[in-house]
A = this chain, B = another copy of it.
């Protein structure tokens, strides 16, 4: 084997994956603690226990790191519920969505990023495609099965279906972080099932 095959090509740095992971974790923790606006490469490096150069070798600036970390999170999509009935699936999806949105990290990071997205079209675009892609697969599988079972006469418009499943919970939890009774989720699930049947 010629010697150069054992060495990385000139300019291609060897990036230790454990350092990359530590930086990613630090970005998430900083996003939750101080928010996008006050996050800095210096703070991220300090929290990750690395030098600023280690960060800059991987990402050129703050926006690309955040885009990268957020896309990675959204790609770990929720499991699609498959309970055998549309009501059961909707109720299960509302339950897991509520848990995700109430997780202290998501509860802080998501509203921050959505607020920042109004100022940064690039961040807005990444958030939109990451979140909607994750949502789209779950929702179309769920309503597709319901249509196959004859529970829905027609497939609902996917945009309306996604917004009905995520929107009410998000709005509720943004305004009131303290309570989310099971009776509320039961009623909302009933209402969303009726709405899906009318949203073609």
Residue A138 is within 8 A (CB to CB) of chain B in the complex? no
Greatest chain B CB density within 10 A among A114, A168, A170 is at A168
Q: Interface residue count for A (Cβ, 8 Å)?
A: 48
- Of the residues B112, B157, B163, B188, contact of A199 by C-beta under 8 Å: B188
The reply to whether B131 and A175 contact each other, CB–CB distance below 8 Å, is yes
- Of the residues B119, B124, B159, contact of A172 by C-beta under 8 Å: B159
The reply to whether B163 and A168 contact each other, CB–CB distance below 8 Å, is yes
Smallest Cβ distance from A78 to chain B, in angstroms?
A: 16
Residue of B nearest to A104 (CB): B118
Query: For the complex, what is the distance from the CA of A176 to the CA of B167, rounded to whole Å?
Result: 13
CB neighbours of A128 from chain B (8 A)? 175-176
CB neighbours of A175 from chain B (8 A)? 114, 124, 127-128, 131-132
What are 30 A-B pairs at a CB distance below 8 A?
A35-B119, A37-B37, A107-B118, A108-B118, A108-B119, A111-B111, A111-B114, A111-B115, A114-B174, A124-B175, A124-B177, A132-B175, A159-B172, A159-B184, A160-B168, A160-B188, A163-B167, A163-B172, A163-B188, A164-B164, A166-B171, A167-B168, A167-B170, A167-B171, A170-B170, A191-B198, A191-B199, A192-B195, A194-B198, A195-B198
Chain A interfacial positions (CB closer than 8 Å to B): 35, 37-38, 107-108, 111-112, 114-115, 117-119, 124, 127-128, 131-132, 156-157, 159-160, 163-164, 166-172, 174-177, 184, 187-188, 190-200
